[in-house]
A and B are shown apart, each in its own frame.
Chain A
Amino acid sequence: MIEVQDLTKRYPGRTAVDGISFTVGRGEVVGFLGPNGAGKSTTMRILSSFMPATSGTVRIAGYDVFHQPDEVRRRIGYMPENNPLHTDMRVRDYLKFRARLKGLGIGRSRQRVDRVIEQCGLKDVEKRIIGHLSKGYRQRVGLADALVHEPDLIILDEPTIGLDPHQLRSVRALIKELGRQHTVLLSTHILTEVEMTCSRVLILNQGRILAADRVEDLESRFSQDGRVVAEIEASPEAIREAFRDLPEVASIEIQAAAGDFQRVAFTPKSGEDLRPLVFEQVRQQEWNLRELTRPRLSLEDIFIQLTQRKKGGDL
């Protein structure tokens, strides 16, 4: 659906996007992740053919964004950053206006507007002026606008920014719903959002792609050291004694925890899961055990690791 090859965008004195390449297949929901100023919005503006690239090619559904921009625009539903809307218009009139701009006939646009109003839960506010709506409803109007001409690809630039938790939840649910029928590319810096809505993630920093992978694969790749944490009721010396001779354990760290418990972190020699072993040992010693986990790295940790490593490398 999207094929990006060596895309570069230079502004005077600054390179916003630096030779990135990626592809997005039909039906995928891809999250575009990165700190502010990473080049997310710039890339999305180029994809939606709002502005040209300095070099590189972008093809959307087989059409080049530079040479066949109108074909591309017909196939993309784009919600720009901050979701700009004509705040003086009524919801239904606005959607109708947008549908007509996107080339739908009068009858067809009425049909589609009815459909997206229902789909985005705007039935109750369709007669109201957009400027009087809450942010959550405005966001839905923006989504409805992106959907109204039945695009193959939906590009959303930070669709959930500034929403309260309830609105967040409903907008996310809507995006997830969209992902069933459309290809979706969305940008955000909220990591849980990507975990919840996206099948794949592209991490962008300073104009370069740092990682592009399925969310689960990223997590397993970054948590390979496989540390196991247990809270055991015993003295530190006894714990050290008990685990000293096990060949699978590379190192043990012990910290005092609340009560008579110790918080013990086990690092395995070669990636295997230490949990059964730790449990077995604790059972043999007849200690009390109140926690045994292998902490998963969240996308957040991965993101911080990646972007910091990058910074360190540049300095």
Chain B
Amino acid sequence: MGVFFTLVRRELGAAFNSLTGYVVVAITLLLAGFGLMDILQRLNADRTPSPIPEIFFADGIVFWLILILTTPVITMRTFAAEKALGTYEALMTTPVGEWQVVLAKFAGSLVFYLVSWAPLVGVLVVLRQVTRQPQLLDPWAMCGVLAGITCIGSTFLSIGVFASSLTRSQIIAAMTSLLIGIGLWTLSLRFSQTETTGDRWGRLMDHLSVTHHMQDFARGVIDGRALVFHLSVTVFFLFLTQRVIEMRRWK
């Protein structure tokens, strides 16, 4: 366990010491700023506006832009940079387990990702103060949003970590996870818009739609099926990562 935390600390240190770390935070802030403008416009236009989390996380695309753009950048470093630098060899010739390395890299990415969201919480609190309409920002909806950010983020981050383990080029790692991310998002959008077809296939796709999950989360509905879905996908990709490392180690 001590070794695991040592590794997580190293991951975070590397993220905060690098320029890309701050680029990620900058992207998040910039996009969140656009999101805020969007929210303000809608609050002014609508007489009975929908709650802020729904505007921001469910209806708008800002959340998805942030997610899809920042997760590849956060995770591209994890394995690819170490391989390119050669420190991967130094790491893997110490008696650490493959799972420890994979989980530590994922946990480091997740913590950094959550930290990069932190300014947004500030934005929401300010909005609540300014609008003086508590129904616009329900605490339960906030919990849902947090759960959604974490769950869906985990899925995207695990895909990114996996992509990074496949290559020694950070660019290739980022492009691969970006492609998978965009694919997942556009498919989800498509299927959550045709939700009313009602046949078995349509319902299944609806359950798998990440945009639908986020709509639920933003309303404060924490659906167990969505949690299980994201947990499984995360574990699945981390498992694949571990296999890749093991295979490369013993090929």
The chain A residues found within 8 Å of chain B, CB to CB, are 45, 48-52, 69-70, 73-74, 76, 78, 80-82, 84-86, 88-89, 97-98, 100-103, 105-106, 145
A51 touching B251 by the CB < 8 A rule? yes
Knowing that A49-B93, A84-B88 touch, tell me 10 more A-B residue pairs with CB under 8 angstroms.
A50-B249, A51-B250, A69-B95, A84-B85, A84-B90, A97-B10, A98-B90, A100-B2, A101-B7, A103-B94
Nearest-CB residue, chain A, relative to B7: A101
B94 touching A81 by the CB < 8 A rule? no
Does B92 sit at the interface, judged by CB under 8 A? yes
1/0 contact string of B4-36 vs chain A (CB within 8 Å): 001100100110011000000000000000000
The residues in B between 137 and 157 inclusive whose CB is less than 8 angstroms from any CB of A are none
**Contacts A86-B87, A100-B3 known; A50 to B93 CB distance under 8 Å?**
yes
List, in ascending order, chain A residues with CB within 8 A of B59's CB: none
Which of B13, B18, B89, B96 is in CB contact (< 8 Å) with A101? B96
A45 touching B13 by the CB < 8 A rule? no
B10 touching A50 by the CB < 8 A rule? no
B6 touching A88 by the CB < 8 A rule? no
Which of A78, A86, A88, A100 is in CB contact (< 8 Å) with B93? A78
Nearest-CB residue, chain B, relative to A102: B94
A106 to B93, CA, bound (A): 20
B90 touching A80 by the CB < 8 A rule? yes
Q: List 26 A-B contacts (CB under 8 A).
A: A50-B89, A51-B249, A52-B250, A73-B93, A73-B94, A74-B95, A80-B86, A80-B89, A80-B93, A81-B86, A84-B88, A84-B89, A84-B90, A85-B90, A86-B87, A98-B90, A100-B2, A100-B3, A100-B6, A101-B3, A101-B94, A101-B96, A102-B94, A103-B94, A103-B95, A106-B2
- Dominant SS among interface residues on chain A: loop
B90 touching A88 by the CB < 8 A rule? no
A7 to B13, CA, bound (A): 40
The chain B residues found within 8 Å of chain A, CB to CB, are 2-3, 6-7, 10, 13-14, 17-18, 85-96, 249-251
A89 touching B13 by the CB < 8 A rule? yes
Shortest distance from the beta carbon of B100 to any chain A beta carbon, whole Å = 9
A84 to B211, CA, bound (A): 42
List, in ascending order, chain B residues with CB within 8 A of A102's CB: 94-95
- Dominant SS among interface residues on chain B: helix
A97 to B93, CA, bound (A): 14
A88 touching B18 by the CB < 8 A rule? yes
Shortest distance from the beta carbon of A230 to any chain B beta carbon, whole Å = 53
A145 to B90, CA, bound (A): 10
A97 touching B6 by the CB < 8 A rule? yes
B91 touching A101 by the CB < 8 A rule? yes
A73 touching B95 by the CB < 8 A rule? yes
B86 touching A84 by the CB < 8 A rule? yes
Give the interface centre of A51, A78, A84, A85 by most chain B CB atoms within 10 Å: A84
Shortest Cβ-Cβ A-B pairs, 8 listed: A84-B86, A88-B17, A70-B95, A100-B6, A73-B95, A101-B94, A80-B89, A84-B87
A243 to B140, CA, bound (A): 109
Nearest-CB residue, chain B, relative to A83: B86
Nearest-CB residue, chain B, relative to A93: B13
A123 to B13, CA, bound (A): 23
A89 to B250, CA, bound (A): 30
A106 to B2, CA, bound (A): 9
List, in ascending order, chain B residues with CB within 8 A of A52's CB: 249-251
List, in ascending order, chain B residues with CB within 8 A of A88's CB: 13-14, 17-18
